[in-house]
Each structure stands twice: as structure tokens, then as C-alpha cells.
Amino acid sequence: MNKVRIAVAGAGLIGKRHVEEIDASDSAVLASIVDPGPAGPELAEKYGVPLYPSLTELFSKDKPDGIILATPNQMHVDGGLECVAAGVPVIVEKPIGVSPVDPSTSASSSVTVPVGSSLTPRSLQFNVSARGSGPLMLASVQ
């Protein structure tokens, strides 16, 4: 069985915890670390994986099977939308964002975004609406 290749964006406390879980997993392997800060190189070297300073740089060179966004809260929406635009499934650490999403800046697609809570994701299904239909709202929780 092929292991799922997961990249972790964010090399802080929460990101490191996700990396540890991936490293201990029988079904997943750490594909890379995405972090422009000083913690990134140390974490990438410790686990022997590539380091990228941004999601843009990662997606220009690799397409992992999934991404865990453990970046600062104010980066969650932009990072999540960048992953969706790249066609890569994403787990977004909570909170998904720090303010309502402006639908005029959102990509239009139907996506599944698991939201991590103590490393126990719950799958949230919703439509990222195109333009002018109000703030992004949850449609259903599974």
C-alpha cells in the first residue's frame, strides 16, 4: 500500500505536533515542510524532507496528496484557498479564519475542508461561493 504524502505548512508548536503524528503513522509519510521562518530548516532537516518558503513554491515543484495548514490564524483563509486552487486536499487548523470571508475574493468550487481540533479532524462540506452571495456559511457537518 502506498503511503499518503502529506506536507505541513507551519513549523511552530502545532505544526510540529502534526509532523510527529505523520512520522508515527503507518499510512502517511511527511512530504515536506512549508515555512519561511527560522524553525522551518531545522524541522525539515530533522525529518529529511524538502523545505519550501511558501505554498506557491511547494506547488511549483511538488503536489503532495494533502496539506495540513498549521500557519498563523490570519493566514488560514489565503492558504486554504491556495490549496483548493492547486487541487490539493487541505486540513485547516482551527480557526479557519479570523474574519468573515469576502465572497468576491473566493474561488468558486465545491470542496471538503477538514478542520483540525486536537488532531481529530471533522469533515466540513461547504461550497465556496463565487461572488455576491454573502459570507461563507457552513452547509453541513458530517
Q: What is the pLDDT of residue 142?
A: 38
Residue 59 reports pLDDT greater than 50: yes
Q: Other CB atoms closer than 10 Å to residue 32's CB: what's the count?
A: 22
Query: 70 to each of 130, 133, 134, 139, how far by Cα in Å?
Result: 26, 29, 27, 24
In 3D, which of 31, 36, 37, 27 has the Cα closest to residue 19?
Answer: 31
Q: What is the spatial distance between Cα 73 and Cα 90, in angstroms, rounded to a whole number?
A: 15
CATH number of the domain to which 9 belongs: 3.40.50.720
Residue 93 reports pLDDT greater than 50: yes
pLDDT tens-digit map of 13-38: 999 999 999 999 999 999 999 999 99
pTM score, whole prediction? 0.73
C-alpha cell, 137: 456559511
Q: Is residue 10 part of a domain?
A: yes
Residue 7 reports pLDDT greater than 60: yes
Whole-number average pLDDT of the chain? 77
Q: Which range has the worst mean pLDDT, 21-30, 36-45, 103-112, 133-142?
A: 133-142
Q: Which range has the worst mean pLDDT, 28-32, 84-88, 103-107?
A: 103-107
Q: Is residue 121 part of a domain?
A: no
The band of 100, judged by pLDDT with boundaries at 50, 70 and 90, is low
- Round to the nearest angstrom and report the end-to-end CA distance of the chain: 27
Q: What is the spatial distance between Cα 90 and Cα 82, in angstroms, rounded to a whole number?
A: 10
State how many domains the chain has.
1
Domain that holds residue 25: 4-102
Q: Is residue 15 part of a domain?
A: yes
Q: Is residue 140 part of a domain?
A: no
Q: What is the pLDDT of residue 21?
A: 93
Q: Is residue 61 part of a domain?
A: yes
Q: Is residue 132 part of a domain?
A: no
